[in-house]
Amino acid sequence: MSSKRTSHPESSRDGAEPSSTDLETLQGRVAAVYTGYYLVLREGREWVCKLRGRFRREARPVVGDLVDFLVHADGGGTISALHPRRTQLERRAAHRGRSTPASAQVLAANVDQLVIVASLREPPFRAGLVERLLVAAAMAGLTPLICINKLDLAERDELGELEAVYGALDIPVLGTAALQPETLAGLESALAGKTSVLVGHSGVGKTSLLNALAEREMAVGEVAGGSKGLGRHTTSTARLIPLRGGAFAIDSPGVREFGLHGVAAADLARHYPDFRPFLGACRFGDCLHRGEPGCAIGEAVAEGRITQARYDSYHTLLGELEDS
């Protein structure tokens, strides 16, 4: 790649402007975002980069983004361009007050697959988050996969129930125990050749799973000490991790709630794959499938072709979208 020299030798390194000693521009992938700097991954090596000054206001690189960065002689770098995203996973940003409109937080970019990680015990399984994440995956065009971890703490038939529920929606359900490597082959092959993002409640074992599958031992899972002083390992920021065999996975901090962003109430049903065969057959064109006369979705529920649980989940999310 050709060197890009510039004519600003006087600008300070702290301002992260290019200087005459800069070596070359490379392409890499954002591996982590911290306050004021980024880690950029390229061919197994990570560079600490700043964002080029004039670019700071318009560009907000997130984990998974492809960027161009200028390598400095001191080993640092400056991000100079952000490539268009193939996909992005968004959630509604925690809103600060009633007057501020809801905005989106992009969790990860250029991801193929959303791995919904849950456990049955410690913490207990909560279907609500799984339902939301399935909608978020459908909206973002990501393939969903459910990983039930901590199988060593649960009964075998509990996994079977979830396999039946989500298998009926053509969503694969894998059981794992992160601390037992022999249980991880299915997950490893489901991640192969792709970039996946792992999302789920805190403590379900996302970081433990990725530690077991990482190309090399990585310092994922920092100690959250501080005021709590519990010394518990909990992930505080999303992190792109190279896995064995060339795949990538993004570890993310545990979520307490996951608000949907960018979907209108009238469009929600399109993101329920099990509703799709019946859409367009309701009596009213603007049917929201909430007990309206002649609703094809309601009829499919009555006939057992859509489960009551999925119908209820749809109504919960519909109510939330109307409130927000």
Site for Zn ion in 80-119 (CB under 5 A): none
- How far is CA 77 from each of CA 11, 27, 69, 163, rounded to the nearest angstrom? 14, 11, 6, 46
| Identity at 53, one-letter amino acid code | G
Nearer to ligand GTP, 149 or 313 (CB): 149
Nearer to Zn ion, 62 or 306 (CB): 306
Gap between the Cα atoms of 222 and 128, Å rounded: 28
Per-residue interface string for the shown chain with Mg ion, residues 229-258, x marking contact by CB under 5 A: ------x-----------------------
Gap between the Cα atoms of 83 and 85, Å rounded: 6
* Min separation Cβ 169 and ligand GTP, Å: 24
Nearer to Mg ion, 190 or 255 (CB): 255
* Min separation Cβ 119 and ligand GTP, Å: 7
Nearer to Zn ion, 171 or 297 (CB): 297
Per-residue interface string for the shown chain with ligand GTP, residues 148-187, x marking contact by CB under 6 A: -xx-xx-----------------------xxx--------
Q: Taking CB under 5 A as the rule, does residue 295 contact Zn ion?
A: yes
Q: Taking CB under 6 A as the rule, does residue 254 contact ligand GTP?
A: yes
Q: Which of 114, 209, 282, 317 binds Zn ion (CB under 5 A)?
A: 282
Please list, in sequence order, all residues whose beta carbon lies within 8 angstroms of the beta carbon of residue 57, skipping any fewer than 6 positions away: none
Gap between the Cα atoms of 2 and 131, Å rounded: 48
Per-residue interface string for the shown chain with Zn ion, residues 229-268, x marking contact by CB under 5 A: ----------------------------------------
Nearer to ligand GTP, 118 or 288 (CB): 118
